[in-house]
Structure 1
Amino acid sequence: MNILDFFKAGVDQPIIANADQIKSKYSKYRKEILATIITLYGFGYTCRLALSVVKKPLIDGGLFSIVDLGLVGSAYFYGYALGKFLNGFLADYANIKRFFTFGLITSGAINISMGLNQSLTLWVVFWFLNGWVQGIGAPSCAIALTNWFSPKERGWYYGLWSTAHAIGEGLTFIGTAALVDYFSWHAGFIGPGIALILITFAGYRFLQDRPETLGLPSVTDWKNEENVKKVSKNFKEVLHNQLKIIRYPSIWVLGLASATMYVTRYAINSWGVLYLQEGRGYSLIEAGGLVGLNTFTGIIGCIAYGYISDKYFSARRPPVTLMFGIAEIGSLFLIFYGPQSTFILTIAFIIYGFSLSGLLAVLGGLFAIDMAPKNITGAAMGFIGLFSYIGAGIQERVSSVLIKTSQADINSVKIYNFDDAIIFWVSASIISFFLALSLWNHKIKD
C-alpha cells in the first residue's frame, strides 16, 4: 500500500439488508462523528492561535518586532489559504478519518517545534506549514457533515460543528493565556501541541469514512429525501464539477464577502489581546478573558444561525445574515468607539462573538456547500477558504504596518496607536456585509 492508497476513500460495500441494523449504525456513527469533529477541530484551533497570545511577551522580551510577528502571522494565513484550497480538492477523494487526523497530529508537532526555537526564518517556515496542514480540517469536517447529515438538516448540524471555532478560540484566549502567564511564551506553543496530539489519537476511533464504505445507504436514501440529485463518484466527472464551480460569479462574490469578514475576524483574534493590553491597559489574563468571552458566546451564535435559517427561513441564509451583520458591525463600533467602561466592553464582546460566529458559519462555508453538489463539497470549501485566508493574511501584514507606523517612543518606551488599524478592521466588516447582501436571491442549482 502506498501513501495515496492509505489516504484514499474506501470502496463501497454491499448495503446491509436489516433496516433496524442500518438505523442503529447511523444513529451511533452520527453522534460519534459529530462529537469528535467538534472536539478535534476545537482543540486544533489552539494550535493555530497561540501566536495571538504570545505577541506581547515576545515584543517585550526583544525577540521579535511587531512587523516580524506580522510576517510570521501572514505566513500562516497564506499557508492556510493554499492548504485549504488544495486540500479541499483532495478531501473529496479522501478517507476523512485518516486525512483529518494526519493534519491535526502534524500541526501539533509543528507547534511543539515553534516553542523550542527562536529563529525568525524557521518561525515563518513552520507557521506557513502549520497553516497548510490546518487547511485539511475544515474541508474534512464539511465532507463528514455532508456524508452523514442530509441537506434538510445541514444548517442545524453545521451550526453545531461551527461551535468548534468558538470552543478553540476560548481555550486559546483563556487556557493558553494562563499557560503563558504562569510559565512562559514557550508553553503557549508546546502545551497545545502536546494536547492536540494526545486528543487526536484518542478521537481517531470515533471517526468514519463514507457511509457507503460501511455497508450503509447514502444519508439521503436513508432519510428518504426526495428531489436530491444523485452525484457521480467518477474521478473525471468529480474533477469536472470541481473546476466548474469556479465559473459561478456568486462563488467569487461569496469568496470576497468571506475574505473581508476574515479581515475583521482575525484582526480581533490576532491583535485583540495586544490592543486591550496596550490601548486599554488590561493585563494578559484580563485581555485574554475578554477576547475569550466573545468566543464562548459565539457557540450560541453558531447554533442560533443554523437553527433560525433552517426553521424559520426554509434554509435561506441571507435574511439571517442581514440580522447578524447589523449586530456585528454595531458591536465593533461599541468596542472601539463606545464608552471606556469594562461593563460596556464586555457587552460589546458578547454581541460581537454571537453575531460574528453566525457570519463565520455561513460565509466561511455553509452557503458554499449549499451551493455545491455533494461530491464537490471539499472543493467549494477550499475555494472559499482560499479567499478567506488570503484576506486574513493581508490583514495580518497591513495591521502590523499600520500599528508600527503609528508607534511613538516616549521615554524609550514604545507606545502603539491602533486608530488607523481599527478603521481598516471596521471598514472590512461593512464591505463584507454589503457583498453578502448582494447574494440575497441567489442559489446555485445542483
Structure 2
Amino acid sequence: MTENVYLQRQIVIFGCLYIGYFLYICTRKSFSFTTAVISEEEGLAKSDLGLIASSQAIAYTLGKFLSGLLVDRVSPKLLFSLGLLLCGLSTLTFTVCHSVWFFGLLWFINGLSNGPGWPACAKFMKRWYPAGQLGTLWSGLSTSMNVAGSVGPLLGMYLARQYGWRTGMQVPGIMAMLFAVVSQLLLCDKPTDVGLPEQIKDDREKKRGNNRTSGKVTLLDVVTPFFLKLCVGYLLTSCIRSASLDWGQLYLIQDRGHSHIVGSSFTSSQEIGGVVGSLIAGYASDKIVKFQSLQQTGSGRIIVVLINSVIITISLVILVTVVTETTSQLVISGVGFCLGFSLYGSIALYGVMAVESAPLHVSGSAYSIVAASANVGMILAGLPLSWVASLYQWEGAFALLLLGAALQVLLCLTCVYQPSGDTDKKIQ
C-alpha cells in the first residue's frame, strides 16, 4: 500500500515539475519569442534589444547560483512556486511599460526569478527518486526545455502577430502565476512530510551508508578532482551548445551560403535531437550505474558523456570541413540532430552526476557550482566567440569549438579511468 502511495506522489511531483519548468522557460524566453514584433511596434534598436537580453542573462546566472545555495536551507517547494509566481508577475508588468530602461529592469527581475527553477527541481529529484532511476527521470524532466523551445516560438509569434506582442507575453505570464498556486498545493518537500518513508535506496547507496546524509560532510569535501572535471566539462559542453544554437544559422548562411530555411532547420533539428538524446542518455546511464554499483566502480554515467563527446566532435568536424554551399538540407539537419542529441544528453547527465556526488544536505550547493560553470560557458559563447568570428569568420569560431570538443573527450577519458570513487571515499 505504501509503495502505491509513494508511486502516486512521485508521478504527481514529476508532472508538476515538468509543467512548472515548461512555464519557467516560456516566461524566460517570451521576450525572445516575440522580439521581431516588439522591435517593430516599439521601435527598439539592436542595442536596446541587447541591453534587455543581457540584463536577464546576468540576473539568471546570479539567481541560479544563489538559489542553488539557498535550496539547501529553505523549502524547495516554496522556492519553486515563488520563483514561478515572480516570473509571471514580472512578465505581465513588462507588457505595461514603454521605456527601454524599465524593460531592462523588469527583465533583470525576471532573470532573478527564473533562478530557483532548476535548483529546486534538482532537490526534488534527489529527495524523491532513487539513484537507479535518477538519470532517466532527470533527463525526461529536462526535455521540458526542448518542448518549450519548440512550442514557445510558434505560439508566441502567433499571438504576437494576431493580438500584439503584449498578448504574446501575457499568456505565458498568467499561466505561470496560476500554476505557481497549483505547484504550492501539489508539491511536497520530502516523503516524511506526508508520512512516507525515505526513498528506497539501491545497493550502491546502501554501501555508502548513512553518512551521505549526515551533517559531517561539508561542501568542501565534495569538491574533488572529479567534481572539478565536471565543472570544466559542463562549461565546454554548455559553450558548444549555446554557440551552435545562437550562431549555427549565421555560420550556415554567411559562411556557407545557405538559405534562412536551411539555417532554421539546423536549429530546429538540434531541439528535436535534444529530446531524444536526453531520454536515451538518462536511460542508458541508469543501466550502467545499476550494473557498476555492484562492483563499486564509481559513476558510470561519465561513459555515456564520453560517447556523446565523441559524437559532438565528429559532428563539428563535419560542420567545419565537409559542409559546403552544395550540401543538402537533409545532411545539415542530420548534423544538427546529432549535435542536439549529444549536447543535451551530456548536459542532463552533468547535473545528475553533480547531485549524486554530494550528500543530500549540500546537493543543491554542489549543483549550483557546476551550473555556474555552465553559465560561464554560455557567456563565452556570446560576445567572446563573436569577437573571434569577427577576426576569423564563423568558420574560425566553430573550429575553436571543435578544439573544445576534443578537449572534452580527453577530459572524459581521464574520468573513465579514474572515476568518482574518490568522492565516495571522502563521503564515507
Provide the TM-score with structure 1 as the length reference: 0.79
Match of 2:295 in 1: none
Aligned to 1:206: 186
Alignment deviations for residues 339-385 of structure 1 (CA, whole Å, 9 cap, x no partner): 4422222222222221111111122x111112111221111111111
| Cα offset, 1:390, TM superposition | 2.3
Residue 360 of structure 1: aligned partner:
347
- Give the SS at the match of 2:209: coil
CA contact (8 A) 2:273 2:340 kept: yes
User: What does residue 64 of structure 1 align with?
Assistant: 45
Does residue 1:122 correspond to 2:109, yes or no?
Answer: no
| Paired position in structure 1 for 2:275 | 299
Cα separation, 2, equivalents of 1:356 and 1:104? 27
Q: Which residue of 1 aligns with 2:133?
A: 153
Tell me the equivalent position of 2:296.
none
Deviation at 1:68, TM superposition (A): 5.1
Any idea what SS the aligned residue of 2:15 has? helix
* Structure 1 gaps, min length 5: 1-19, 408-416
Give how far 1:401 is off. 4.8
Q: Tell me if 1:311 matches 2:287.
A: yes
Deviations 1:204-252 (A, max 9, x none): 4331121112222111369996324325878xx37x6134434x23322
Equivalent residue for 1:385, pick from 371, 381, 396: 371
Instruction: State the 1:148 CA deviation.
Output: 0.8
SS in 2 for 1:209: coil
Q: Is 1:262–1:391's contact at 8 Å kept on the other side of the alignment?
A: yes
**Structure 2, gaps ≥5 residues long:** 293-298
> What code does the residue aligned with 1:350 have?
F
CA distance in 2, matches of 1:106, 1:124: 16
The correspondence for 1:331, drawn from 294, 312, 315, is 315
Corresponding residue number in structure 2 for 1:10? none
Q: CA RMSD in A?
A: 3.3
Which range is displaced more, 342-351 or 210-219? 342-351
Matches of 2:66 and 2:316 in 1, distance apart? 33
Q: Aligned pair 1:84/2:64, yes or no?
A: yes
Counterpart-to-counterpart distance in 2, 1:174 and 1:275: 23
Equivalent runs, 1:266-305 vs 2, <5 Å: 266-272=242-248, 280-282=258-260, 290-305=266-281
Matched, 1:250 2:226: yes
Corresponding residue of 2:304: 320
Residues 254, 435 of structure 1: 8 Å contact kept: no
Cα offset, 1:331, TM superposition: 2.8
Contact 2:278 2:348 in 1 (8 A): yes
Given that 1:163 and 1:302 are in contact with CA atoms closer than 8 Å, whether structure 2 keeps it comes out as: yes
Q: Provide the C-alpha distance between the structure 2 equivalents of 1:51 and 1:272, rounded to a whole number of angstroms.
A: 21
Provide the C-alpha distance between the structure 2 equivalents of 1:77 and 1:46, rounded to a whole number of angstroms.
15
CA distance in 2, matches of 1:191, 1:274: 31
Are 2:380 and 1:394 aligned? yes
8 Å CA contact retained: 1:174, 1:292: no
Aligned to 1:31: 11
Contact 1:97/1:207 (8 A) holds in 2: yes
1:374 to 345, 357, 360: 360
Q: State the 1:138 CA deviation.
A: 1.3
Looking at structure 2, the residues matched to 118 and 419 of structure 1 have their Cα atoms a distance apart, in angstroms, of 39
Contact in 2 for aligned 1:114/1:123 (Cα 8 Å): yes
AA aligned to 2:53 is G
* 8 Å CA contact retained: 1:77, 1:131: yes
Give the aligned length: 408
1:4 counterpart residue number: none
Judge conservation of contact 2:320–2:399 (CA < 8 Å) in 1.
Answer: no
Amino acid in structure 1 at the alignment position of 2:237: M
2:203 and 2:130 map into 1 onto residues whose CA distance is 7
Give the TM-score normalised by structure 2.
0.82
For 2:381, what is the secondary structure of its paired residue?
A: helix
**What is the CA–CA distance in structure 1 between the aligned matches of 2:167 and 2:252, rounded to whole Å?**
22
> Could you tell me whether the CA contact under 8 Å between 2:288 and 2:301 is conserved in 1?
no
Q: Distance in 1 between matches of 2:318 and 2:158?
A: 27
Paired residues of 2:61 and 2:372 also in contact (CA < 8 A): yes
Q: 1:275 to 1:98 in 2, by over 3 A?
A: farther
Spell out the pairing of 1:10-29 with structure 2 (5 A cutoff).
Answer: 20=1, 22-29=2-9
SS of residue paired to 1:438? helix
Higher helix share: 2
Whole-Å separation in 1 of the counterparts to 2:119 and 2:396: 34
Identity %: 23
> Is 1:103 the equivalent of 2:100?
no
Mark the CA change 1:232 to 1:432 in structure 2 (over 3 Å): closer, same or farther. closer
| Residues 116-169 of structure 1, C-alpha deviations (whole Å, 9 max, x = no match) | 445443344333332222121111111111111112322222222222222222
Q: Deviations over 1:9-40 (max 9, x none)?
A: xxxxxxxxxxx2x2232111011111221221
Answer yes or no: is the 8 Å Cα contact 2:212–2:359 preserved in 1.
no
The corresponding residue for 1:218 is 198
- Further displaced range: 295-304 or 107-116: 107-116
Contact 2:132 2:202 in 1 (8 A): no
> d(CA) in 1 for partners of 2:86 and 2:34?
21
Q: Is residue 164 of structure 1 aligned with residue 140 of structure 2? A: no
- Report if the CA contact (8 A) 2:37-2:161 is conserved: no
CA distance in 2, matches of 1:276, 1:179: 29
Whether contact under 8 Å (2:131, 2:202) holds in the other structure is no
